[in-house]
Amino acid sequence: MSSKLAPDPAEGARQLLRELNVQVIPIQPREIAEQLQIVVWEREMESQYDGCLMRVGDTWGILLNNLIQSQARKNFTIAHELGHYYLEGGQTERQIPAADGKDRVAEFVPQHRCQREDLRGFDSHRLEEQRANQFAVELLMPAPIFRADAADLPKIGLSAIDALAAKYSTSLTSTAIRYTRLSPHVCAIVLSEKGQIKYFAYSDRFRQNSDCYLSKNNPLHPDSVADLLAKGRLKDAKRSRRKVPLSYWCSTQSDQALIEQSRRLPRMNQVLSFLWLPDSP
Ligand SMILES: [Zn+2]
């Protein structure tokens, strides 16, 4: 048997943080790359690509698309490429230092060219990309610290997610997914586009609740906050948190109500919704 068991991505990220003794939030993936002697370049790439893991001989590099504006997305991209390196590429070569990789980008051979679609927090269809994303999420938002920070925040929902995104230097969407998946509450996060549910993620308790079930491509309920915002029928951001019937979002006979908090993401023409079913008294 020659094949080694592929490491669990989250465990890999935690192990790397331990090895390098990194504990300070926000995690700086660029510094981690430096410690691993991986060169990071920013160069213009075709717009569908966010980043690329490269190598020449035993020297590794990360190419970052300099069209990326947000620091959060840069961080996520570097962390994602570190995931490819750590999970698939670099473990056996890590003892060999990079000498003078700085100006030799042209000599490097791409190992993974990662499209923007692959780095979306929700889903990539390709297993290697999913694994690199899982690694990146754990590296930037380590579960034990993140969970504790989330629990310390007084409010549940988008304002907590905003605070965590600022603290961890991560994007609103990836922070929202992390927050929701680690939440002890019955909650889900939904991204909708053109009046339809495009992606969602949820907590364990949401999954276990038989009244809670979301379907991709389902149309938004016309009275949901998300649909009102999408159609411009609701402008006041302060009123974007409402109690709505659970049946607006989930096909259920239950007459329970959930708290829906939605926000337009104008740049992407999408709406992000946090759904929370409060515990009944
Ligand atoms: Zn990738």
Please write the tens of the pLDDT for every residue from 88-105.
875 544 444 445 545 566
- The strand pairing partners of 15, in sequence order, are none
Spacing, Cα 9 to ligand 1 middle (Å): 13
Domain span at 246: 143-277
Q: Is the dihedral of CA 173, 192, 269, 154 positive or negative?
A: negative
Whichever domain contains 251, its CATH number is 3.30.450
State pTM to two decimals.
0.89
Spacing, Cα 136 to ligand 1 middle (Å): 10
Whichever domain contains 27, its CATH number is 1.10.10.2910
Domains in the chain, number: 2
Mean pLDDT of 168-176: 95
38 plus 154 within the same structural domain: no
34 plus 47 within the same structural domain: yes
Please write the tens of the pLDDT for every residue from 184-195.
999 999 999 999
State the pLDDT at residue 121.
Answer: 56
Spacing, Cα 80 to ligand 1 middle (Å): 6
Model confidence at 178, in pLDDT bands (50, 70, 90)?
A: very high
CB 256 within 8 A of CB 249: no
179 plus 92 within the same structural domain: no
Write out the E strands in 160-269: 186-193, 196-202, 241-245, 257-265
Percentage helix, strand, coil for the chain under 3-state DSSP, each rounded to 5:
40, 25, 35
240 plus 160 within the same structural domain: yes
The count of residues in the chain is 281
Spacing, Cα 81 to ligand 1 middle (Å): 6
Spacing, Cα 124 to ligand 1 middle (Å): 9
Whole-number Å distance between alpha carbons of 214 and 211:
10
113 plus 162 within the same structural domain: no
Spacing, Cα 99 to ligand 1 middle (Å): 25
236 plus 216 within the same structural domain: yes
160 plus 148 within the same structural domain: yes
Residue 44 lies in a domain: yes
Spacing, Cα 42 to ligand 1 middle (Å): 16
176 plus 135 within the same structural domain: no
Please write the tens of the pLDDT for every residue from 42-86.
999 888 889 999 988 888 999 999 999 999 999 999 999 999 999
State the pLDDT at residue 3.
Answer: 42
Spacing, Cα 117 to ligand 1 middle (Å): 10
- The strand pairing partners of 272, in sequence order, are 191, 263
Contacts of 204 (CB under 8 A, 6+ apart): none
Residue 3 lies in a domain: no
